[in-house]
Amino acid sequence: MLSKNVVITDEAAGKHVELPVIRGTEGEPTLDIKAVPSTLGYFTYDPGYAATASCTSEITFIDGNKGILRYRGYPIEQLAERSTFVEVAYLLLFGELPIEEQLNQFRDELTYHTMIHERLNHFISGFHYDAHPMAMMAGVVGSLAAFYHNRLDMENPEERVLSAKRMIAKMPTIAAACYRHHMGWPIAYPRNRLRFCERFLDMMFSVPSEQYMVSEVAARALDLLFILHADHEQNASTSTVRLVGSTGANPYACVAAGISALWGPAHGGANEAVLAMLDEIGSVGNVPHFIDRAKDKNDPFRLMGFGHRVYKNYDPRAAIIRQACYEVLDELGKDDPMMDLAMELERIALEDDFFVEKKLYPNVDFYSGIIYKALGIPVSMFTVMFAIARTVGWVSQWIEQSETPTKIGRPRQVYRGPQERKYKALHRRG
């Protein structure tokens, strides 16, 4: 909805432009700057898009100052307490909580699509045994377009939803297959009588020689983490998915690009980096030294799992995971000294002027690794866990974009290279 305009004047040039203000249902008003280049002759400069909205969306709302996160209007705290990952996936994809019949049908559809083509297993076995699973995931998910090319009419809404369901369903199967390849274990096919997270744990940890009983506590903890990671509006990987999608690329290519963006340590790769950092810190006594390093401008070290572009308050997901950490460690009967270390690090950081002034709080990745570790998930698979959950957000955002007239994403630049010069023959250079 457009309301009053804002006038920007270039006094020296004697020009002005009236910019419409776009107001969403919530959040800050946003200036529509499209007319600036044609009327004032300037481009706008915003590296890192810290001041730029790239799209309109009805999916996820964040108020970073108040620490609010809502999916389709529902507070994350309520979904974490009362919903399930599959129900949240339905909500994010279709916009409403399902009635029982819709939920059952959706669950059946996700279950029906869990198998992957046997050739994909051959593809996975072609990787070196110690390949990072995120590298494998990006390659294997991108290759899905080669397996499902007969149903890739992206103008067709039904086929868009079908490819979205396929990816949500197959991602855990691919992730577990990557892990098993690393371990040298035979493929474990999805057992469709199990629920989403139970099935994933079974595919990860069952071996042919022994009966594997999925722990109810572990499945519930995983379900919670998946709910919390499912979407987060226009973060780096989701923006990547939208940017690639704006070219008309197929959804598997878009999600493969999202996986690659997620892998970076400033984004989803932080959960792996947090455990490496806690390991390096080693003991509570060393915390002050690492806090000093994080504050030192000449030291590239940062406290991983701290800070966020949008949250300038406690990340609401971190608050939920912190509480879940106690419960899961308690219920699984595990006592992880890393939890004490993480809490001490958080306590000291939150009292330190540097972190207070810069509003650096623990983010979603700070405590999630401690739960994954307690569930027996290896550290190299942490970001893969994030990718399984975030696939729901990626495909929901991709579908939303596909339903809206979209221009190709094409930012401009401030060119600082050489001005025009003349080509010199090889013998005249130097």
The residue ranges that bind ligand CMC (CB under 6 A) are 48, 235, 266-268, 270, 294, 302-309, 358, 360, 363-365
User: Considering only CA atoms, which of 52, 94, 68 is closest in space to residue 395?
Assistant: 94
Beta carbon of residue 10, minimum distance to ligand CMC (angstroms, whole number): 29
From the list 132, 267, 296, 427, the catalytic residue is 267
Three-class SS of residue 255? Answer: helix
Beta carbon of residue 259, minimum distance to ligand CMC (angstroms, whole number): 13
Contacts 24+ apart (CB under 8 A), 212-218: 215/332, 217/328, 217/331, 217/332, 218/332, 218/375, 218/376
Beta carbon of residue 295, minimum distance to ligand CMC (angstroms, whole number): 7
364-374 and 216-229 helices, crossing angle to 10°: 160
Of 188 and 324, the one with the shorter C-beta distance to ligand CMC is 324
C-alpha dihedral (205, 209, 210, 214), degrees to nearest 10: 30
Joined tokens for residue 370: 């401690």
Of 201 and 388, the one with the shorter C-beta distance to ligand CMC is 388
Side chain identity at residue 270, one-letter code = A
Distance CA 32, CA 60 (A): 21
Q: Is 229 a catalytic residue?
A: no
Joined tokens for residue 106: 């959706």
Q: Is 427 a catalytic residue?
A: no
Distance CA 204, CA 167 (A): 18
Beta carbon of residue 328, minimum distance to ligand CMC (angstroms, whole number): 20
Q: Is 108 a catalytic residue?
A: no
Beta carbon of residue 354, minimum distance to ligand CMC (angstroms, whole number): 7
Beta carbon of residue 332, minimum distance to ligand CMC (angstroms, whole number): 25
DSSP symbols for 22-45? E--SSS--EE--TTHHHHH-----
Beta carbon of residue 382, minimum distance to ligand CMC (angstroms, whole number): 11
DSSP 96: S
Extended strands (E) in 195-301: none
Distance CA 263, CA 136 (A): 12
Q: What residue has token string 């050739």?
A: 119
- H-helix or E-strand containing 404? none
Residue nearest to ligand CMC (CB): 307
Of 14 and 48, the one with the shorter C-beta distance to ligand CMC is 48
Is the Cα dihedral 258, 263, 265, 267 positive or negative? Answer: positive
Beta carbon of residue 365, minimum distance to ligand CMC (angstroms, whole number): 5
Beta carbon of residue 228, minimum distance to ligand CMC (angstroms, whole number): 11
Q: What are phi and psi of 310, to 5 degrees?
A: -100, -45
DSSP 133: H
Contact 302, 308 (CB under 8 A): no
From the list 113, 202, 308, 315, the catalytic residue is 308
Distance CA 359, CA 405 (A): 37
DSSP 127: S
Strand partners, 5: 20
From the list 202, 223, 231, 365, the catalytic residue is 365
Provide the phi-psi class of 27: left if phi over 0, else alpha when psi is between -120 and 50, else beta: left
Q: Is 156 exposed, middle or buried (0-12, 13-18, 19+ CB in 10 A)?
A: exposed
C-alpha dihedral (153, 166, 223, 124), degrees to nearest 10: -120
Residues marked active site are found at 267, 308, 365
